[in-house]
Chains A and B, each alone.
Chain A
């Protein structure tokens, strides 16, 4: 494992309403971290700040390299982590081209990125849908595409915000299987926000509970 993260004393308010109130946690071992808590408890905000998509009002998220060196919050660091949003945000093109996007903006060679995209689509079971417009996928498939698009770029830390919130039981099991397979295959840190207690128990190496804007380790 080459990248670790630590959130220290995060505070965040929206329109004067505090959502995070001094939230701290360290992601320093590989495995699956599950963040649970009631709706509106601040799980998504915490993930978005950790994934460097938003800035906290107070506190900081520090990313440390293998040697313990603090990394600058720049595009190089942002390209080593990723967040899959609850609403995936697929591009209006084929499933295959959706996967290629993250690789293309990194300047990867055409043959390499196509090979990688095919591998990832096979891993998430969407290879047969590679030429289909992503807008025509079912909600479960869209969620798998979101995960595949994130996995394609080989993130060292993967954040998943409610990856199974809007999908049926079968699709949920498929996504859980993908996450467990990913854990077996890589030594990445996977952080998942979910309000599904059963899923939390099934997947978690480390269970975190968010309550009133703070994290209580389970």
Chain B
């Protein structure tokens, strides 16, 4: 029990004194996850809108594939990206393995299906009369699509936040492709795993508290967004 209390005491010490190693790890974690999220949203939102609003052959197969990839195990994604980026792989010449870029790619792959599927779900939930209403007001097909996406904004935001929750807490894929190099590719989750193995609990506990705080903030944000969306839809 003593080592646990000591661990917490020292963890709070690290946080209060803004330990540079701790800060570096937090900043890298947020940079990697936020960049991955931006890229995944830039591709996932248009794809979700396309699948939600257009009719095309094998649409059902595409939706099923996206939904299946939502549950993609991070270690499998990590393995696949490792094989692609390793020296003998097709993209080995780029020298990305064991860099933050490789970690961004891994997290993008994990976030992309979540954002696409939840954006698709949010967009198909928009009342079809919205499309007709904007068309009757003189909207071009692109403006009609924009109107539908705007109506789905709360669902889309929830999807993006859910994806953030997944990637910030993910450890398997970034450990494989990032290599957990101190001061370069070491992020919160991989540090917790490593320091726990080493028996250095203070840094692991400090990062665990930060991760939990982020998770709490995320859930609060989701709650606020969902309430705002429901207030609009339910009134």
Contact = CB atoms under 8 A, between A and B. Distances in A.
Interface of A: 51, 53, 75, 78-79, 82-85, 87-93, 101-102, 105-106, 133, 135-136, 149-150, 153
Contacts of B233: 92, 135
B222 to A, nearest CB: 18
A84 B229 CA distance: 25
Interface of B: 127, 129-130, 132-140, 143, 147, 150-151, 229, 231-235
A135 B126 CA distance: 14
A53 B136 contact: yes
Interface centre among B133, B140, B229 (most CB of A within 10 A): B133
A166 to B, nearest CB: 13
B137 A82 contact: yes
Q: List the 3 closest pairs (A to B, CB-CB), nearest first.
A: A89-B133, A136-B235, A89-B129
Given A133-B231, A135-B233, A89 B138 contact: no
22 contacts: A75-B138, A85-B129, A85-B132, A89-B127, A89-B129, A89-B132, A89-B134, A91-B130, A91-B151, A92-B229, A93-B232, A101-B134, A101-B137, A105-B134, A105-B139, A106-B138, A133-B231, A133-B235, A135-B234, A136-B235, A150-B137, A153-B137
A188 to B, nearest CB: 15
A97 to B, nearest CB: 10
Contact of B138 (A79, A135, A136): A79
Given A79-B138, A92-B151, A105-B143, A85 B133 contact: yes
Nearest to B137: A102
A138 to B, nearest CB: 11
Nearest to A83: B136
Contacts of A102: 137-138
Given A78-B138, A88-B129, A150-B136, 8 more contacts: A51-B136, A82-B138, A83-B136, A85-B132, A90-B133, A101-B147, A106-B138, A135-B233
